[in-house]
Each structure stands twice: as structure tokens, then as C-alpha cells.
Structure 1
Amino acid sequence: MTSSILPLFLFVAVATVTPGGATTLATASGARFGFVRSIPLMLGIATGLALLAAVAALGLGSLLLSMPALQTVVKALGSAYLLWLAWRIARSGPPNAGHGPARPATLVNGFLLLWLNPKSWAMTVGAAASFALLSNSPTRLATLLGATFGLAACGSLALWCALGALFARLFRASFHWRIFNLAMGVLLAVSVIPTWK
């Protein structure tokens, strides 16, 4: 059983550590608010991903993917939310400069990011289908996928958030912050494009 679980762990590790909307938000939050104040956002994203993976394993994710109209609604809402966040990040200045959000994103913001992101649905449904034989019951598969995705997301987001906090130590001028925030906003906006392909 251990050898059959290794591909799942590798898939989840790669899927969660690669750059995307969630990792961009974690990096930007770490730079702007520091690691500790970004923990609620990271926990919201990780919890959202864990629950989404569990739901996909129970078969509800494939139901969503089989309904094109519902997929379009989720894509539209998710894209609008990500673009709104991208705009806020791109417009923000240095911390404590009075520009952009004064408080970090919340646990609920992180949770919504995942549940409104069609890429997350596709990733977790794909994992549920690919690794369904790891368990003889949907409930056990839901537990395995939920735990694996949740823990991997915590590690990945912590890494990206710490990178953002490191950037914050290096930035001395407001010009650096403008470039960084604009880059983070653009990366977050660009992460919407694959959703519509």
C-alpha cells in the first residue's frame, strides 16, 4: 500500500507547490503583512482545498463537472473574485503607506478562493479519479485525499508566504513595492486564463 500511495503524494506535492492563484496570494500576503498575519489566509486555502478534495472523492465534484452551465457560473464567479483580488494587490503600495488593503485576507477569503476556482475542482476531481483504487470506500478515499491535499497545501503556502516575507525584508524603496505588487497582481490575473481554455 505504501508504494501505491507514493504517486499520490508526489502528484499532490507538485500540484500544490507550483505557482498559481493561491501561491501568489500567499506570497503577496507574506510580503505585505508578514507570515503570522497571513496564517488565516493560508489556513482558509488549505482547508478549502482539503474539503474540496474530500468532496471530489465522494463524487460530488464530477457532478459539477458534468453540468456545463454550473461550470460557467463557477468560472465566472471565480474569475471575478481573482481579478478583484489582483486589482487590489496591484494597486497597493508599501505596507503602512495607506494604499491597498489594511488587513490581510481572512480564512473565509482563502476558502472562497479555492471553492470558486475551477482549476482546483479539476485538480481534485482528477486526483479522485486517478487514485480511486487506493481505497475500497469513497469515505476512506475522501479522508486520504482531504488530508493529503490539506497538509501539502499548508506546507506549500507556508513556503510561498515565507518567500514573500523575505522579499519584504529586501525591499527598501516604495518603487520596489510598486513593482512587486504590480507583478503579484498581474500573476494572479494571468492565473485566470487557463480556467477559460
Structure 2
Amino acid sequence: MPLTEFTALLALATALSFTPGPNTTLSTALAANRGLGPAMRFVLAVPVGWAALLLLCAGGVGAAVVAAPMLRLAIKALGIGYLVWLAWKLSQTSQLAEADSSRMRVGFWQGVLLQFVNIKAWLLALTIVAGWIAGRPDSLQRLAVVLPVMLAFAFASNFLYASTGALLRHWLARGARLLWFNRTMALVLVLTAVWMVGT
């Protein structure tokens, strides 16, 4: 892959991986509410799920989703519904003790599956396949370069957001700070869901 294309890939990966979205918002909220250790299951799930999504898109499934409006609509509807449900659960959590209950548990497999209903993840995977992989004579070699780069970015961005949430954990434990933080994170999830409606 030429250096100019690789540089463009890094720029796209940076812009889309480190901007707020469902994954980074949940990484932050989970770590703030439950600590970095429990949040790491989700942080690790994001690159695994996203890698599976990228491989499916590179294998042609992405084109099938784009070509089938009802399937695309179903994915959007599931994603929007799940984000709104998570936002509701998050907005109701006002104490760390509540967060340690089943209310704030988003595990590894939920994190993996979230990628398949995350429109931002689909758009990134489809963009990368269309721009860097599909139709190239060296597509397998390109995939072998793109995949680890994107895995590293997915992990790094979610780990950074989770670390920030974990650093805020003790400060948020005082008064109503956690409730307002959670409601702000819930609002970000709802705004993401609203954005998904328009895409």
C-alpha cells in the first residue's frame, strides 16, 4: 500500500475512532460507574466485533446490506432501540452501588454484537473496504495491513475513553455528580441514536 494511502487511512482512523460515538460513550460510562477492570470486557469487545464486521464487509456482506434497504433499516432500528434502552438504563443510575448491580452490565458479547447494529461502525467498515480494499489486485495484502491498524485504533480509543471515565470515578461518587454524568452520557447515546435515524 502506498504511503499516501496509508497516511489517509491513519487520518480517517484517527478522526472516526476518537470522536464520540456509542462505543466510546459506553467505555467512558462503564469505567466511571464500575471501574476500569469491569469496563475492559467492553473495551476489548469493540475491536473484536469491529474486526468481524470489517471482515464481513470485505467478504461482500456489506454490499448486500447496502443493496437491501429492509435489512439496512432493520439494523438501524435494532441499533437505535438498543442505544435508547442503554441510555434509559444509564440515566437511572445515580450511585456506584447501583452501577455494580445488573443495571450497568454490558459484557464482552454484548459489546461484540453492538458493532453489528452500530451505524457508525458499518459506515467506517464500508468506507475502508470501498476506499482501500475492494477491487484491488492486492486486496488480501491490503486487508492484512488495514485490519491490525483498525484493531489498534479501536482498542486505543476505547481504552483512552475508559481510562478517563475511571479517573473520574471517585470524583463522581460525591453527591449527585454521578447521576448528572450518567444523564449526560445517556444524552450522548440518544443524540447518536437520533443521528442514526438520519443516516
What is the TM-score of this pair, normalised by structure 1? 0.91
Following the alignment from structure 2 to structure 1, what is the Cα–Cα distance between the partners of residues 84 and 174?
A: 26
Q: How large is the Cα RMSD of the aligned pairs?
A: 2.0
For the pair 1:106 / 2:121, whether they are aligned, the reply is no
- Match of 1:184, as an amino acid? M
TM-aligned CA distance change 1:89 to 1:157, over 3 Å: same
Correspondence for 2:163: 162
Following the alignment from structure 1 to structure 2, what is the Cα–Cα distance between the partners of residues 98 and 59?
A: 40
Aligned 1:65-144 pairs, distance under 5 A: 65-97=66-98, 101=102, 104-132=105-133, 136-144=137-145
User: Which has a greater percent of helix?
Assistant: 2
SS of corresponding position for 1:183: helix
Size of the aligned set, in residue pairs, is: 197
- Give 5+ residue unaligned stretches, structure 1: none
What is the TM-score of this pair, normalised by structure 2? 0.90
Following the alignment from structure 1 to structure 2, what is the Cα–Cα distance between the partners of residues 150 and 55?
A: 15
Runs of 4 or more, structure 1, over 4 Å off, are 97-100
Alpha-carbon deviation of 1:142?
A: 3.3
Contact 1:51 1:146 in 2 (8 A): no
Aligned 1:170-181 pairs, distance under 5 A: 170-181=171-182
Correspondence for 2:153: 152
- Give 5+ residue unaligned stretches, structure 2: none
